[in-house]
Structure 1
């Protein structure tokens, strides 16, 4: 197998991103077992601090179990608006510094530095990029530099938190060899258990299994796992592209049939992501409403609209879609809304009922929200008793 020695791929990963943002907002939380996720027993962990992880906590763990394992943990519901804001800050810094990067999640990035070794040196450049991100955002970040995406990602996970590592070309296989097989991306629970039952506990053992045997055992996935175990990955860094949608959803602590409550939640969510839409200077041309009943049946309905970013236009459509969807008179578990068909756009008179008053109203509302936060000003019909607003 051939590995391109000229490739230099860095993987950057924000350390426990949601938790780091919360600690940045409230430094008192630093060093404490902190959980970001649903506060009720039906919620799950979205992220947890390294102090909490010492008790066995991890993302996607049910909150009820997390509280049992770590009763002293501090639970915060989280704020996706803030997380998105900081994610965009990091994205902007990286976009300003590097020619090609891939945003693989809200807090992970791949950077293709191939060719830059002739100028600054890839190691020095990546170290400086880490310092810049930390200095300008206040958030900790870890990274690893290698010849491909696979090895750089695995290496980053090995040096977190706040670490950095370079895997020189030609040492990919020896770096991976002593690691447990579960460290290889693509090895899930079932495949991992199967390999361990076969006595394959380390990446070295996996890499030494004949390709044909792995193919017979796992099919096409067997060949891919053999390549990964040998540190081979030729997947390119996909240039970052603008998002295709903006969405949010809410799972309720208790299933409900209260229409006043459901409409209030839908209004609140729609208003929030409509503000996010306008903050990104975008307009939407399609609205989708999602509804999940207590028996887990999930239904969606969408409608194309003239491109708009106006709450009163979007809300009218969203409520109409909800009324069409809610036809079973069953308890509801979840409501969600999504905007798609996004285009760049800003305030346009014909999108605001042709009135200057409406334009000035939205400008004033968004100005207040930008200054004091999106929850500072809300529609009365989006407020429910006991919500804290």
Structure 2
């Protein structure tokens, strides 16, 4: 995961320097708005050169789909993986989509796939022939959204990539404290809450920032880049390391804060037969309890009844 995260950052940096508008949709997926570039470079030629640039500088295979919107571009990319390129111009959109399985439509879930398949709708062409009213009657608004995608219609914009997107929390103590053990337990609780929020939003983070405020009202911050993750154990360990580094004066503290940033969409990459698999299974079990009984329904024993 360390190498995966490093490669993701490298590719993003290469793309950001060379395109007008980029959205980082996940660790290994970007959308680029190339509108207007055909007047100066030739959009397909520029996309090809950009792909070659990434391959040359990173040594990694990379694919792109160039088309009229995000949906068709994503589907084109999926069709030319693992190391290809595919250009679908407007007249060719429907001919490209028609023979594909409905499963290839981004955002179509397993239950919807089974339901449509049972109705005999297995290819995108068959889906385009269904009346909108009927689609709405069986799938609600999602049915109309799905029908639009099957017809290659998608007006969603490319949302500019923002490196500083983050979530965070902080705690001001009732009385200034130097109880390091209790503060570490508090940090554990804070990170667990933030990690749960990450997983609920299907996000991963690549940066942790710890802030402290001394009783003298001096603020000190320490930050570290990490492999993309949403695992409690990884984030807690790094947060405590940063706290040890940032807390140097050994005087009373008034506040501690934790912020997780460089967020992207995605799920944990789990290596089989490693500790990360066990940790992810544990997080899933805890999250299931939190979703049913509330975010504060289960915690580590050390983080309960903290008196700060």
| TM-score computed with the length of structure 1 as normaliser | 0.47
Counterpart mapping for 1:89-238 below 5 A: 89-238=10-159
User: Are residues 208 and 305 of structure 1, via their aligned partners in 2, closer, same or farther at CA, if it must alter by over 3 Å?
Assistant: farther
Structure 2 contact 71–152 (Cα < 8 Å) conserved = yes
SS at match of 2:161: coil
Give the equivalent residue in structure 2 for 1:345.
none
Q: Quick check: 2:99–2:125 contact (8 Å CA) kept in 1?
A: yes
Which of residues 237, 248, 271 is equivalent to 1:353?
248
> Which string of whole-angstrom CA distances, capped at 9 and with x for unpartnered residues, describes residues 226-255 of structure 1?
1000000000000001154499xxxxxxxx
Q: Is the 8 A contact 2:211 2:222 kept in 1?
A: no
Q: Are 2:32 and 2:158, in contact at CA under 8 Å, matched by a contact in 1?
A: yes
Query: 1:83 — aligned with what?
Result: 4
Moved over 4 A (4+): none
The Cα offsets for residues 309-363 of structure 1, whole Å up to 9 and x where unpaired, read as 179xxxxxxxxxxxxxxxxxxxxx9735369xxxxxxxxxxx56369xxxxxxxx
Whether the 8 Å CA contact 2:65–2:76 is kept in 1: the answer is yes
Q: Distance in 1 between matches of 2:30 and 2:115?
A: 31
Give how far 1:305 is off.
Answer: 3.9
Contact persistence 1:290–1:336 (CA under 8 A): no
Q: Distance in 2 between matches of 1:178 and 1:168?
A: 17
The equivalent residue for 2:263 is none
5+ residue gaps, structure 2, are 169-180, 196-209, 214-219, 225-230, 238-245, 251-308
Tell whether 2:191 aligns with 1:288.
Answer: yes
Task: For residue 115 of structure 2, give the secondary structure of its aligned residue in structure 1.
Answer: helix
What secondary structure does 1:93 align onto? helix
- Aligned-partner Cα distance in 2 for 1:139–1:246: 31
Q: 1:150 to 1:338 in 2, by over 3 A?
A: farther
Pairs aligned (count): 202
1:151 aligned counterpart, secondary structure:
helix
Q: Which runs of 5+ in 1 are unaligned?
A: 1-79, 248-262, 271-285, 293-302, 312-332, 340-350, 356-389
Query: Distance between the aligned counterparts of 2:39 and 2:235, measured in 1?
Result: 48
Which residue does 2:296 correspond to in 1? none
Paired residue secondary structure (1:103): strand
Q: Corresponding residue for 1:335?
A: 233
Q: How far apart are the structure 1 equivalents of 2:80 and 2:88?
A: 12
Task: Indicate conservation of the 8 Å contact 2:192/2:232, yes or no.
Answer: no
Deviations 1:88-130 (A, max 9, x none): 1101100110010000011110111000000110000000000
Flag the 1:137–1:209 CA change in 2: closer, same or farther, 3 A.
Answer: same
SS at match of 1:289: helix
Cα distance, 1:289 vs structure 2: 3.2
Structure whose residues are more often helix by fraction: 2
The equivalent residue for 2:288 is none
Distance in 2 of aligned mates of 1:243 and 1:157: 29
Aligned match of 1:343: none
Matched position secondary structure for 2:64? strand
Contact 2:167 / 2:194 at 8 angstroms: preserved in 1? no
TM-score, normalised by the number of residues in structure 2: 0.59
Q: Which residue of 2 aligns with 1:13?
A: none
Give 1:185 deviation, angstroms: 1.1
CA contact (8 A) 2:23 2:160 kept: yes
CA distance in 2, matches of 1:291, 1:169: 43
